[in-house]
Amino acid sequence: MTPNPTPTHLFSNSLTDLAKNWRADAMAGFLVFLVALPLCLGVAMASGFPPMAGIITAVVGGLLVSRLGGSHLAITGPAAGLIVVILAAVETLGQGDAMSGYKRTLAAIVCAGILQTLLGYGKAGRLSAFFPVAVVRGMLAAIGIIIMTKQIFVLLGVHSEASAGLLQSIAQLPMALLHFHPQITAIGAVGLLIMVFWPMLEHPLLKRIPAPLVVVVSGLIMGRLYDLDHYRAFFTLQPYEYSLGPQYLLPVPAQFLDNFYSPDFSLVFSTKFWGAVLGICLVGSLESLLIGAAIDKLDPERRRSDLNKDLSAIGIGNVLAGMLGGLPMIAEIVRSSTSIENGAKTPWANFFHSAFLLVFVALFPALLREIPLASLAALLVYTGYRLASPREFARIFEIGAEQLAVFVITILAVLATDLLTGVLIGITAKLAIHLWLGVSLANLLSISYHIEQTDSDTYHVKLSGAAVFSNFIALKSEIDALPAGGTIIFDLTESALIDHTVMEFIADFSRSYTGNGGICRISGLDNHSAQSDHPLALQKRDQ
């Protein structure tokens, strides 16, 4: 999304950087560790994996991927965006046996990691542009709805069938609310309130304490008050028995080495196995590429990541994580932004956060076993809500009504089918809208443009016809290859239609190019009408 880097902005990952920035990176890494610990555990449990699987992934991501990747400030690890695809794989491949499903999903993660590595080496990072923003956000919103629906049962302390579909889970919610567990619900409710209100505190010292850490500490305290270490039934309301005990605490093995499992490749020749592989690879790769580009925008030094190199490194990390019993990893936006906000300078911040995680779980496994599951469920319910909040719907609608239509169609399609099918339906809906707006079938896949160098450092990029998400990959590659520090003029006079994806690319490119000393101008929009007041709304040429 940005021009070629100058030599001073080339990726640096050396011991010199460590010697120069170790204090800042170690402090940022420590604060990220405080955020990552509960999130890694919660994501693993929600995915149908043992809780330590999330820690394994974060450790591999920081210690290995930070050394191999092409990102400057990304924090790699497990993320909520992959919960649904992993949980579906466990249920599909396990055929009713959770442990078999877990081990077979590990094999799928290994194969997905190999595919990701090959995609990175094949420069497939640019293909992320083929997925419209509304489709990606719709996919994530659907994931958020599914996470909330599944985790509300854990927060209430009510049993729910893991294999229950979304509609079945929704149908069970009234009964769960009627028979909620008072003490467990109190732990979850306190955690949820902390996630909502803690960031609003104005005290500078309190603001530096991550809300997820406060949730876990409050859960530890309330768990001790309720004596969750010991089982006891305190009353029965037929057919429900209300009890307290270790079943509401995080199940962590007493021996450190018992946290590692090997993958089971017994279903490698089945279609459902490769369906899981493709789902993990597609969703993980897409999220990593989009989040990697978003992290670059947060970098105070305006450095550019090598997203193809990063995708390959994440693939290698996923192969190792899968072999050890871990979840797949992506570049994670919450932890990455926390790292940047707290002064991270280099990829060593990612390394330090993983080192702190490894030391903590090796030295204090007993403390992990005191964490209530309801506290982790509160984190995930809040995360799911943020992915699918009314504000997200409003933000999409501000861009344009056609964006909201694609967004909602993608959500409904994912909820009604699965992630891959839902995304394909969303893309199809987007293409259909472009056809309805007058774009020819041939123009959907082929863009007409001309790049003219008018002097030593000035380039005119002239577009004609329609410039949309499905046809601008070739143009994007050529623009990315233009030398930094010059003048680039986008002439859109002859463009019949420019969709939001292309408008966003031009805006991001212009911001980055200008930030690195170049000049970027956009002309020719005077004879176009925008679909909304949003500056990056779809533009259609007046007749």
Q: Which tens digits make up the pLDDT trace of 491-518?
A: 999 999 999 999 999 998 898 888 888 9
| pLDDT at residue 162, rounded to an integer | 59
Residue 103 CA to residue 260 CA, distance in Å, equals 11
| pLDDT at residue 93, rounded to an integer | 97
Residue 439 CA to residue 445 CA, distance in Å, equals 10
Q: What's the fold here for domain 441-541?
A: Transcription Regulator spoIIAA (3.30.750)
134-185 pLDDT tens trace: 999 999 999 999 999 999 999 999 987 655 677 788 888 888 888 888 999 9
195-243 pLDDT tens trace: 999 999 988 888 889 999 999 999 999 999 999 998 887 665 555 667 8
| pLDDT at residue 131, rounded to an integer | 84
Distance of CA 22 to the CA centre of its chain: 27
β-bridge pairing 519-523 and 487-498: parallel
| pLDDT at residue 389, rounded to an integer | 95
| pLDDT at residue 17, rounded to an integer | 79
| pLDDT at residue 9, rounded to an integer | 40
pLDDT averaged over every residue in the chain: 90
485-494 pLDDT tens trace: 899 999 999 9
446-496 pLDDT tens trace: 999 999 998 888 999 999 999 999 998 888 888 988 998 899 999 999 999
| pLDDT at residue 500, rounded to an integer | 94
Q: Does the pLDDT value for residue 309 go beyond 90?
A: yes
Q: Does the pLDDT value for residue 6 go beyond 80?
A: no
Contact residues for 320 (Cβ-Cβ < 8 A; gap 6+): 60, 64, 113
SS3 content of the chain, % helix, strand, coil (to 5): 65, 10, 25
| pLDDT at residue 239, rounded to an integer | 57
Domain with CATH 3.30.750.24 in the chain: 441-541
Does residue 93 contact residue 109 with C-beta atoms inside 8 Å?
no
Q: Residue 75: count other Cβ atoms within 10 Å of its Cβ.
A: 34
Q: Does the pLDDT value for residue 262 go beyond 90?
A: yes
Label residue 2 by pLDDT band (50, 70, 90): very low
| pLDDT at residue 388, rounded to an integer | 94
User: Which residue do the tokens 């305190």 mark?
Assistant: 234
Q: Residue 519: count other Cβ atoms within 10 Å of its Cβ.
A: 14
The pTM of the full predicted model, rounded to 2 decimals, is: 0.87
